[in-house]
Amino acid sequence: MERSTGKSTSDGKKDMTRVMAFVFLVLAVSLILIGIYKEQMQSVLAKAVRICMECVGIG
Amino acid sequence: MDKKKNRNSINGKKLGIQAVAALIQNANFKGFFSGKLYTGPIKKVCVPGLNCYSCPGAVGACPIGSLQNFLGGLKFRFPYYVLGLLLFFGTLLGRLVCGFLCPFGLLQDLLYLIPFYKKNQFKIDKYLRYLKFAVLGIFVILLPLCIPLSPAFCKYICPSGTTSGLWHVFLNSSVRKQLGAIFQWKLLVLGIVIVSALIVYRPFCKYLCPLGAFYGLFNKFSFFRMHFNESACVHCQACVKACKMNVDPTKNPNSMECIRCGDCVRACPEGALHQGFIRPKTDASPVEEEA
C-alpha cells in the first residue's frame, strides 16, 4: 500500500489512505458516542466485574 | 557486534514497553493475592489487547468478551460501544496493539526467548493464517448470535481466560470444586499454545487471535503505518529475514500480518523502511508522510 519510489509515489493512493483513516476514525467515535448514549458502558461494566465462568473454564 | 548490541537493547526496550502496558492493564495488584476482581469505573472501558476481565489484576474489560456479551445476550443489542472502541484502536494503531500493547503477546514473546527448537517457517503456515478469521467469524460472532449466553471463543478457546482461571483455581476453593471437562479442554488449548510459542513466534497471534484478525484488517488504513522507500532498497532481504511474522515488507509493508514490531526497520541497512503516524498533509511537506 505504501510502497514508494521516492517522490514518484502515487499521491492518490496516499490521499485515499488518509481519507479512509479519517472516515473510520469518525465512524469509530460516532459508534462510541452512540454506545455511551445507549448506556452500553454499564453493560460492559456489569459483565466485567463478575468472574466470567465461561472465560475461566467452568461455565 | 555493536549493531547486535544495539538490536538487543531495542528489543529490551520493546519488551519494557510491553511489560508496562501489561502492568497498566493489570494494575489491580492486590487482586492477584485476594482473588477479588477490580470493580471500579475504569472497567467500563475495553482495553485494546487480549486481557481477560476475569483476571484478578484486570482494570479494564476484554473487548472480545464484551463483544460476545452483546451479540449473545437474550435480547440482541448492536454493540455500538465495543465495536466503536475496536474500530478506534484499529484505525489509530492497527496491529501495533498486538506488537506492543497485548499482554498475551508479551507472554508469547517471552516464551519464544526461551532456548528451544525453533521452526518459524513451514508449508501450511500461510493457510493456517486464515484460521483466525474463522475464529472471529464463527466463535466470536456467529455462535454467540445463534446460541445466546454462550460466548464460544471465551468458553472453548481463549487462553487468556484460562490463565485467569488458573489464578482463581489457586486462590478459590469453590472454583476448584467446579472444574470439569471444559476447563480440561481449555487447559489443553493453553498448553498447545504455550508449547507452540516455544517453537513458533507468536502462534496464537498468527493463527487464532480474533483481535489480531480484526486489527489486521485495518493495517492498510491505520494512522500508524509502515512506509517503504523502494528507491533506497538494495534488495538485500535483511528485512525479510528479520521478520518473525514472515512478512515481506518490500512487497506488502502494511500486510495484515505485520504487528509493527519494527524488526525490519532496524534490520534495513539503507533506512528504506520507516514506521510512524500519518501526518496531516501540508503544502510544506507534500511527500513526507511518516513520523
- Could you list the residue range(s) of the whole structural domain that residue B132 is in? 26-216
Same domain, B233 and B177: no
- Report the pLDDT value the prediction gives residue A58, as an integer from 0 to 100: 86
Q: Does B41 lie at the interface with A, CB-CB under 8 angstroms?
A: yes
Residues of A in contact with B38 (CB under 8 A): 49
Q: Does B252 lie at the interface with A, CB-CB under 8 angstroms?
A: yes
Instruction: Give the chain A residue nearest B63 (alpha carbons).
Output: A44
| Cα–Cα distance for residue pair B276/B262, rounded to 1 Å | 10
Q: Does B127 lie at the interface with A, CB-CB under 8 angstroms?
A: no
Same domain, B193 and B230: no
The average pLDDT across B137-144 equals 97
The average pLDDT across B204-219 equals 98
**Total tally of structural domains belonging to chain B:** 2
B260 pLDDT exceeds 80? Answer: yes
Q: Is residue B119 part of a domain?
A: yes
Same domain, B125 and B210: yes
Same domain, B122 and B207: yes
Same domain, B108 and B40: yes
- Report the pLDDT value the prediction gives residue B143, as an integer from 0 to 100: 96
Q: Is residue B14 part of a domain?
A: no
Same domain, B32 and B169: yes
Nearest partner of B153 among B176, B132, B128, judged by Cα: B132
Looking at per-residue confidence, does A16 or B52 come out higher? B52
| Cα–Cα distance for residue pair B260/B225, rounded to 1 Å | 8
- The chain-wide mean pLDDT, for chain B, equals 92
- Report the pLDDT value the prediction gives residue B11, as an integer from 0 to 100: 77
Same domain, B182 and B40: yes
Q: Cα distance from A26 to chain B (closest Cα, Å)?
A: 9
Q: Please, which pLDDT band fits residue B281 given cuts at 50, 70 and 90?
A: low
pLDDT in tens, B6-25: 666 667 899 999 999 999 99
Residue B258's CATH number? 3.30.70.20
Q: Is residue B5 part of a domain?
A: no
Q: Is residue B57 part of a domain?
A: yes
Residues of B in contact with A28 (CB under 8 A): 84-85, 87-88, 90-91
Same domain, B189 and B251: no
C-beta of residue B90 within 8 angstroms of C-beta of residue B211 = no
Q: Is residue B172 part of a domain?
A: yes
The average pLDDT across B39-68 equals 97
Same domain, B63 and B108: yes
Residues of B in contact with A39 (CB under 8 A): none
Inter-chain Cβ pairs, chain A and chain B, closer than 8 A: 193
ipTM: 0.90
Q: Is residue B162 part of a domain?
A: yes
- Report the pLDDT value the prediction gives residue B144, as an integer from 0 to 100: 96
The average pLDDT across B235-257 equals 96
| Cα–Cα distance for residue pair B252/B268, rounded to 1 Å | 15
Same domain, B235 and B176: no
Same domain, B194 and B54: yes
| Cα–Cα distance for residue pair B37/B59, rounded to 1 Å | 8
- Report the pLDDT value the prediction gives residue A12, as an integer from 0 to 100: 76
Same domain, B211 and B230: no
B197 pLDDT exceeds 80? Answer: yes
Instruction: Give the chain A residue nearest B230 (alpha carbons).
Output: A5
Which secondary structure element, helix H or strand E, spans residue B191, and what is its range? Answer: helix B181-199
Q: Which of B42, B53, B178, B252 to mutate to test the interface with A (most CBs of A within 10 A)?
A: B53
B145 pLDDT exceeds 80? Answer: yes
Q: Where are the domains of chain A?
A: 34-59
Binary contact (A57, B183; C-beta < 8 A): yes
Instruction: Give the chain A residue nearest B176 (alpha carbons).
Output: A58
What separation in angstroms does the CA of B14 have from each of B8, B99, B100, B173? 10, 9, 7, 38
